[in-house]
């Protein structure tokens, strides 16, 4: 049996050393078979014509300051191979099991150390900001990577509208808790709801993005509709999906993977080829979509965003603060 059952405590269940290209191929084939069974047209194409969710056109202007030399992955790669444990622990689970999830209407509660707090409709939360398209390199802790054209607004610009006070040293995020629409939430692989957090200066860094879309269209459910975090210098698990709460706090907030396996997943989760995961190397990564026989490529410090974010961590021991 090629596909090992996920173990709690693994970020997505399998070690990268075990992820063979053949397995990727089989995952794809299974998904395609499932899609055919559901009568979904258009899977396997590069555009969301027949996608099961998301896909409403967004009016976003490309921000050329955020550009990657590699071409973006296909829509198919981005939306059919990822992690969203609320919909199951296999790479194909999010796309297969998220069709019952209802991302509209959506309300976000803002609380804690800020002058302006309360409940905000998603539209109001984003209103003061024009949507931007930004192409980011993304790196999962499991040593695979993708290039994704996100649509969103800079997180810091949104946070500033709430006027965080001097006590706002961190910002915490929470995913929606909806077991009736999220079958994975009936399984105890993680503590629900999923939670994440950033130090306030990390959150204010211009790279941090609140995303509402990809490839010019609203997010499909499996990628975190309708609102998710994108921090491309960190491992993928910091990118919390389907956010319903933003909380400003003085204390470092708990984070889901750190609660689950504190020795393996730290609060910072910065991409760092020199600090291995206790069970595997982080020195190299497999580019999704690079072909069955492509070899792994070196992972870059801060996933290639060293210039933008290294200053946030000056003087810190990154082996201790992993
Ligand atoms: N709520 C929630 N957010 C989540 C996850 C999850 O299981 N639940 N998985 C994380 C992990 S491990 C990764 S790699 C990314 C993958 O999704 P993406 O390709 O859409 O960024 O989502 C992250 N956000
Ligand atoms: Mo991940």
pLDDT digits (tens, 9 = 90+) for 156-195: 999 999 999 999 999 999 999 999 999 999 999 999 999 9
**What average pLDDT does range 95-124 have in this prediction?**
97
Let me know if residue 6 belongs to a domain: no
By alpha-carbon position, which residue is closest to atom 14 of ligand 1? Answer: 236
Dihedrals φ, ψ of 26, to 5°? -65, -40
237 Cβ closer than 6 Å to some ligand 1 atom: yes
Which pLDDT score is estimated for 137?
98
DSSP reduced 3-state for 104: coil
Which pLDDT score is estimated for 53?
62
Which pLDDT score is estimated for 292?
80
Let me know if residue 71 belongs to a domain: yes
DSSP reduced 3-state for 195: strand
Q: In this structure, are strands 195-199 and 170-175 parallel, antiparallel, or unpaired?
A: antiparallel
- Does residue 5 or residue 231 have the better pLDDT? 231
Give me the number of domains the chain comprises.
1
**What average pLDDT does range 83-91 have in this prediction?**
98
Ligand number, closest to the Cα atom of 87: 1
CATH code (residue 201):
3.90.420.10
> Could you give the CA distance from residue 87 to residue 11 in angstroms, rounded to a whole number?
14
Let me know if residue 209 belongs to a domain: yes
Let me know if residue 4 belongs to a domain: no
Two tokens, residue 168: 């706002």
By alpha-carbon position, which residue is closest to atom 10 of ligand 1? Answer: 237
Atom of ligand 1 nearest to the CA of 242: 1
- Tell me which DSSP letter residue 84 carries: -
Let me know if residue 318 belongs to a domain: no
Which pLDDT score is estimated for 291?
86
Contacts of 160 (CB under 8 A, 6+ apart): 204
By alpha-carbon position, which residue is closest to atom 5 of ligand 1? Answer: 84
Ligand number, closest to the Cα atom of 178: 1
Structural domain boundaries, residue 246:
16-313
Peptide bond into 3 cis (omega under 30): no
Let me know if residue 161 belongs to a domain: yes
Let me know if residue 10 belongs to a domain: no
| Residue in 64, 34, 70, 66 with CA at minimum distance from that of residue 52 | 34
Question: Using an 8 Å Cβ cutoff, are 150 and 54 in contact?
Answer: no
Q: Can you tell me which residue has the tokens 């997180």?
A: 155
Question: Using an 8 Å Cβ cutoff, are 284 and 228 in contact?
Answer: no
Which pLDDT score is estimated for 11?
55
Two tokens, residue 287: 């580019």
Question: Using an 8 Å Cβ cutoff, are 132 and 63 in contact?
Answer: yes
Mean pLDDT of the chain: 88
24-33, 74-83, 93-102: least confident range: 24-33
Let me know if residue 156 belongs to a domain: yes
Q: What is the pTM of this model?
A: 0.87
Which pLDDT score is estimated for 267?
98
């Amino acid at each position: 049996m090629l596909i090992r059952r996920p173990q709690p405590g693994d970020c997505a269940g399998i070690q990268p050393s075990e992820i063979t290209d053949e397995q990727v191929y089989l995952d794809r084939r299974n998904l395609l078979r499932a899609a055919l069974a559901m009568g979904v047209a258009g899977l396997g194409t590069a555009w969301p014509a027949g996608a099961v969710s998301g896909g409403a056109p967004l009016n976003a202007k490309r921000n050329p300051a955020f550009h990657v030399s590699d071409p973006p992955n296909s829509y198919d790669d981005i939306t059919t191979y990822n992690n969203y444990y609320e919909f199951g622990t296999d790479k194909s689970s999010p796309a297969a099991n998220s069709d019952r999830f209802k991302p509209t209407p959506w309300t976000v509660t803002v609380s804690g150390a800020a002058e302006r707090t309360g409940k905000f409709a998603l539209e109001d939360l984003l209103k003061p900001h024009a949507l931007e398209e930004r192409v980011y390199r993304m790196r999962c802790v499991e040593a695979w990577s993708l290039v994704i054209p996100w649509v969103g607004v800079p997180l810091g610009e949104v946070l500033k509208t709430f006027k965080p006070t001097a006590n706002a040293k961190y910002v915490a995020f929470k995913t929606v808790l909806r077991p009736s629409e999220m079958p994975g939430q009936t399984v105890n692989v993680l503590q629900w709801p999923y939670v994440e957090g950033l130090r306030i200066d990390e959150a204010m860094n211009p790279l941090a993005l609140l995303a509402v879309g990809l490839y010019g269209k609203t997010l499909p459910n499996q990628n975190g509709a309708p609102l998710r975090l994108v921090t491309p210098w960190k491992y993928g698990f910091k990118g919390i999906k389907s956010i319903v709460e933003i909380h400003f706090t003085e204390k470092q907030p708990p984070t889901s993977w750190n609660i689950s396996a504190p020795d393996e997943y730290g609060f910072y989760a910065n991409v760092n080829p020199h600090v291995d995961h206790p069970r595997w190397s982080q020195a190299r990564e497999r580019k999704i979509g690079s072909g069955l026989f492509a070899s792994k490529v070196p992972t870059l410090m801060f996933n290639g965003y060293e210039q933008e974010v290294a200053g946030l961590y000056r003087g810190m021991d990154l082996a201790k603060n992993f």
